[in-house]
């Protein structure tokens, strides 16, 4: 779905003829009925509703509006990068944030373990609002003036949420989930810890569902009508996004914890200490690279290379086509912060509280910043600034100090 599409396209209350729902959603009220009723209430009260979160201009290419930035999980922002020289602002949340931040419309959204969503002004770091739920939310996905996210826990829910009025547009009860929803051109893809994968149409009804024998943990990827899924059961699966039909399966020696990145190949790390590249068409292995430690992070890719950290203390850059080592950087300790690429720089955090900005060509550190705690969440880039959280419940914005608010 184009970025400019209205959220009403996702919340239309028309009743489809669609197929039966899967077991993970049996007994739930129709999503379209819930949305229709809530929208009616909003229309009655919209004249007197106070706008809590002011949004800037519509989405554009610089937005980081979903986890790993885009549907293919590239975590890539076009350059040239504006190398930060200092801390612009620091904000605090009441609970730890390890989920990936998202940013759009001038707003930073942080999903916390304390069951709250926190809204900050991207320019100043001012806390605009916080909203509490019955369980921890995943990273959010911006959809027009609304957000989509999943509440995790034993009883999960898929939410569509009005950003400005902080009100629920719709809710769909699901089994426990860990990853944020994936926005498809015609709906949403949701996966659960119990191994269920299902697609919701734009009207909220289940289009198809599949059951896997293992938990589904990492975010799936989407490209050219296909969904790419890694599992804890040592498999990578490619499905047709329209029908849910399996196109191919690939089995590897280890389980997978990080989301795959996709362009000409499918790239992902494994707990068997290897990093793999598969053909997007057939699932056949194109190459693999052995590291000295387990790979928990998701990779980032640009036009030439793929970047990731391993628990051997090194950060790696490989040639995308061949898997040849271009460089590796001794960054120390374990790597749980997935990288982001901004032009000719790659950015990632370390467990000893450093945020590193590294030149992608030479593998040399350009900038190093210290935070108060360990960095486990991935950094994001938005409006020429870098945002990241740490384990001390802090959110940081790094950029040009000439822009300090």
- Whether the per-residue pLDDT at 34 is higher than 80: the answer is no
Local confidence band at 50 (pLDDT 50, 70, 90 cut-offs): low
Q: What is the pLDDT of residues 362-383, one digit of tens each?
A: 999 999 999 999 999 999 999 9
Query: According to the model, what pLDDT value does residue 63 have?
Result: 93
Higher pLDDT among residues 335 and 29, named by residue:
335
Residue with token string 């489809």: 16
Query: According to the model, what pLDDT value does residue 104 have?
Result: 96
Residue 355, token pair as written in the block: 């945020």
Helix (H) or strand (E) holding 44: helix 31-45
Higher pLDDT among residues 318 and 231, named by residue:
318
Instruction: Check if the beta carbon of residue 145 is closer than 8 Å to that of residue 164.
Output: yes
- Whether the per-residue pLDDT at 32 is higher than 70: the answer is no
Residue 118, beta-bridge partner list: 110, 130
- Whether the per-residue pLDDT at 267 is higher than 80: the answer is yes
Instruction: Check if the beta carbon of residue 227 is closer than 8 Å to that of residue 221.
Output: yes
Q: What is the pLDDT of residues 203-220, one digit of tens each?
A: 889 999 999 988 888 999
Distance between CA atoms of residues 357 and 385, nearest Å: 12
Residue with token string 């509490």: 132
Distance between CA atoms of residues 190 and 196, nearest Å: 8
What domains sit in the chain, N to C, each tagged with a CATH number? 7-11+23-48+55-403 (2.130.10.10)
Query: According to the model, what pLDDT value does residue 31 have?
Result: 53
Q: Model-level pTM greater than 0.85?
A: yes
Query: According to the model, what pLDDT value does residue 21 have?
Result: 40
Q: What is the pLDDT of residues 268-302, one digit of tens each?
A: 999 999 999 999 999 999 999 999 999 999 999 99
Distance between CA atoms of residues 273 and 114, nearest Å: 33
Local confidence band at 156 (pLDDT 50, 70, 90 cut-offs): confident
Distance between CA atoms of residues 57 and 273, nearest Å: 44
**What phi, psi does 260 have (nearest 5°)?**
-80, 155
Residue 319, token pair as written in the block: 């040639």
């Amino acid at each position: 779905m184009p970025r400019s599409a209205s959220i009403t396209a996702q919340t239309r209350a028309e009743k489809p003829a669609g197929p039966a729902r899967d077991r993970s959603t049996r007994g739930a009220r129709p999503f379209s009925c819930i949305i229709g009723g809530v929208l009616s209430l909003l229309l009655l009260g919209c004249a007197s509703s106070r706008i809590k979160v002011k949004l800037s201009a519509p989405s554009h290419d610089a937005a980081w509006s979903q986890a790993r930035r885009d549907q293919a999980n590239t975590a890539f922002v076009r350059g040239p990068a504006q190398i930060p020289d200092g801390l612009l602002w620091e904000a605090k949340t009441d609970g730890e944030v390890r989920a990936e931040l998202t940013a759009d419309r001038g707003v930073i959204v942080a999903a916390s373990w304390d069951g709250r969503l926190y809204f900050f002004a991207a320019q100043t770091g001012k806390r605009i609002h916080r909203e509490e739920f019955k369980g921890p939310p995943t990273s959010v996905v911006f959809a027009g003036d609304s957000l989509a996210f999943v509440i995790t826990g034993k009883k999960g829910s898929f939410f569509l949420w009005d950003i400005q009025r902080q009100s629920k547009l719709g809710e769909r009860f699901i089994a426990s989930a860990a990853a944020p929803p994936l926005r498809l051109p015609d709906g949403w893809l949701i996966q659960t810890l119990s191994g269920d994968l299902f697609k919701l149409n734009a009207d909220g009804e289940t289009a198809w569902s599949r059951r896997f024998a293992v938990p589904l943990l990492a975010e799936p990827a989407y490209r050219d009508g296909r969904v790419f899924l890694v599992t804890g059961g040592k498999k990578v699966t490619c499905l047709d996004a329209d029908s849910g039909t399996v196109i191919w399966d690939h089995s590897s020696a280890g389980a997978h914890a990080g989301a795959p990145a996709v362009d000409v190949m499918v790239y992902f790390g494994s707990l068997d200490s290897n990093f793999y590249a598969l053909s997007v068409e057939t699932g056949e292995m194109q190459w693999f690279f052995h590291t000295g430690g387990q790979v928990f992070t998701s990779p980032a890719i640009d036009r030439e290379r793929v970047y990731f950290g391993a628990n051997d203390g090194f950060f790696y850059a490989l040639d995308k086509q061949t898997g040849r080592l271009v460089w590796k950087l001794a960054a120390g300790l374990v790597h749980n912060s997935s990288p982001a690429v901004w032009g000719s720089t790659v950015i990632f955090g370390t467990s000893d509280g450093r945020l590193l900005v590294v030149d992608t060509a030479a593998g040399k550190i350009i900038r190093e910043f210290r935070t108060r705690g360990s960095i486990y969440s991935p950094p994001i880039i938005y409006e020429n600034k870098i945002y990241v959280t740490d384990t001390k419940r802090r959110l940081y914005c790094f950029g040009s100090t000439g822009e300090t608010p």
